[in-house]
Structure 1
Amino acid sequence: MSPQRARLHWTGQAASDAIRQAAARGLLLAAEHTLAASRQRVPINEGVLERSGAASVDEQQLAAVVSYDTPYAVRVHEDMNARHLPGRSAKYLESVLPEVAGDVQSLIGAQVRRALRS
């Protein structure tokens, strides 16, 4: 039996860079998905709070943020005694996190898998 030969061309840094970029894309998709879910629960008076929602990613830290930017966003989020329209509630961001956790993992994973196939 003759010896088998294989040639390996290692592109470790390029692979790491592609995975990191894919993870950042996945984080943005996941943050946007979380934002969309939370917008379904944001208490609505005039719609300003809902429209102030944003999703962003720090690609260096690989961290995603979903935020609402009004002077009263935190107060509305935390006031468990306030009354809201049906389907709208306090904790409009916090309450969706456990529900979208699986989707978040899937979105990030799909982007990383796609990068690994390239």
Structure 2
Amino acid sequence: MTRARLKLNTKQIRARQRAGAVRGLHKAVNHLHERSTAVAPIEETTLINSAVASVDEGALRAAVSYDTVYAVRQHEELTWRHDPGRQAKYLEGPLVEESAMMLELIRAQIRRSLR
């Protein structure tokens, strides 16, 4: 009777898995950036142009941020009126609505990296 030996290279598997997670985070955060800027209030495009998607690859964290002096107030003020299709909570709303899609984007890249 012959025995087959299987050698599992877990270091390589983890590295590929992490690389897939990083690619997935980039895809997910870009998706959120796109969805968020599509509903952010727009007057002169200053707010939308200040939006940045970033990924900290070392910590496996991603963020979308808006960098204007009024971004937080614009996000939180529910009584202000906006153009059709634009809204307060322009970051929180898309994050909640798109979280399942964002997770799937990450999952798909991890799976792809392990093929």
TM-score range, shorter chain: over 0.9
SS at the partner of 2:53? strand
Q: State the partner residue of 1:7.
A: 5
- Deviation track 1:69-112 (CA, whole Å, cap 9, x = no partner) reads 11111111011111110110110000111211111111001100
Equivalent residue number for residue 66 of structure 2: 68
Q: Map 1:42-61 onto structure 2 (within 5 A).
A: 42-61=40-59
The corresponding residue for 1:25 is 23
Q: For 2:4 and 2:53, locate their aligned partners in 1 and report how far apart those are by CA, in whole Å.
A: 46
1:12-47 superposed Cα distances (whole Å, 9 cap, x missing partner): 111101111110110111000011011111000100
Shift of 1:4: 4.6
| Structure 1 letter corresponding to 2:17 | I
Give the C-alpha shift of residue 7 in structure 1: 2.2
The CA distance in 1 between the partners of 2:110 and 2:2, in whole Å, is 32
% identity of equivalent residues? 48
SS at match of 2:114: helix
- Supply the distance in 2 between the matched residues of 1:5 and 1:105 (Cα, whole angstroms): 41
Q: Structure 1: 5+ residue runs without aligned partners? A: none
Aligned length in residues: 115
Runs of 4+ in 1 over 2 A off after TM superposition: none
CA distance in 2, matches of 1:76, 1:56: 21
TM-score by length of 1: 0.92
